[in-house]
Structure 1
Amino acid sequence: MKKYITVLLILISFTAVAQVNVHTDMRTPTWNLIGLKYDKQVKPLVWQAVFPPALKAIHNKVIELPGYIIPTKVGNSFSEFMFSIVPVASCPYCGTGDIPSMIEVKTLKPINWTEEPITLRGKFIINDSGDSRSTFFLLDAVKQ
């Protein structure tokens, strides 16, 4: 019986270690607007982004967004990176459901990487050109 209890305790400790820390929810009304973008099929194998009027209303406007830095290059300080409502440790591409909204950020001055959420202020741009770049940009961003 002692063996079973010991094995059970060991197994319980493994599952406790494997748990990912819950992150702070960064969802705001602005992030919710960004999440309204969807794709529609215009012909076989061709999809086009659709931007609702409420989302188009913040195009080319200065906005503030809280979120997490998702580095796209190796380093400790970045002036270009992706920005998300989930931290990189939560693997935004893993699991079920949709990939959370992300924005490509270009800052005026490099920002040091942190696991903690930050708030950025910058000009929000919708890329509706259909090219392969990011759909959303935050330009001339500054850490608040």
Structure 2
Amino acid sequence: MRFDFKRCLLFCLTVWSMNLAAQVNVHKELRTPNWNLIALRYEKQVKPLVFKSIFPAELRAINNTVIELPGFIIPTKVGNTFSTFMLSIVPIESCPFCGTGDIPSMVEVKMLKTIKWTDKVVRIRGKFLINDSGDNRSEFYLLNAEQL
């Protein structure tokens, strides 16, 4: 049997293109300076099986300030309009556990007026709060928020 370079090359290109098609879109275009600051939060083990969230000084600097974030609406209840929802850097149809990097942070949004659900990017402005109480609620809030 003779080695067929053209067939081998065609096979390699086909496998390579299938691998490219399977890549997850990380949505880097939504990364803003504010999302980058939110991503600084990390967990530290304080005792066996007990972790505490750490909010670095750069992230704490935007606590209690009005910020803007682009993102996707992740509903927390059934409906078509929402006054409370999660804002994510990845769309609802993307698996937040897939792809590269860690699980992206989400921010709980409390709107002044209801907003209609969309699968498009929305831009939200509101007062950013860090919840460092250690309870099981969201760690980040955007309060009195408005859609831009």
* Equivalent residues of 2:72, 2:122 under 8 A apart: yes
1:77 aligns with 2:81: yes
For the structure 1 residues 41 and 108, does the alpha-carbon distance in structure 2 shift closer, same or farther, using more than 3 Å as the test? same
Tell me which residue corresponds to 2:40: 36
Give 1:51's aligned amino acid.
F
Consecutive unaligned residues in structure 2, runs of 5 or more? 1-17
Task: State which of 115, 128, 141 in structure 2 corresponds to 1:137.
Answer: 141
TM-score where L is the length of structure 2: 0.80
1:42-81 CA-partner distances (Å, limit 9, x unpaired): 1111111111101000000000111110111111100111
Partner-residue secondary structure (3-state), 2:93: helix
Q: How does 1:91-106 map to 2 (within 5 A)?
A: 91-95=95-99, 97-106=101-110
Task: Report how many aligned residue pairs link the two structures.
Answer: 131
* Equivalent residues of 1:83, 1:102 under 8 A apart: yes
Considering only aligned residues, what root-mean-square deviation do their CA atoms show, in Å?
Answer: 2.3
Question: 1-side partners of 2:30 and 2:101: how far apart?
Answer: 18
Structure with bigger gyration radius: 2
TM-score where L is the length of structure 1: 0.82
For the structure 1 residues 24 and 115, does the alpha-carbon distance in structure 2 shift closer, same or farther, using more than 3 Å as the test? farther
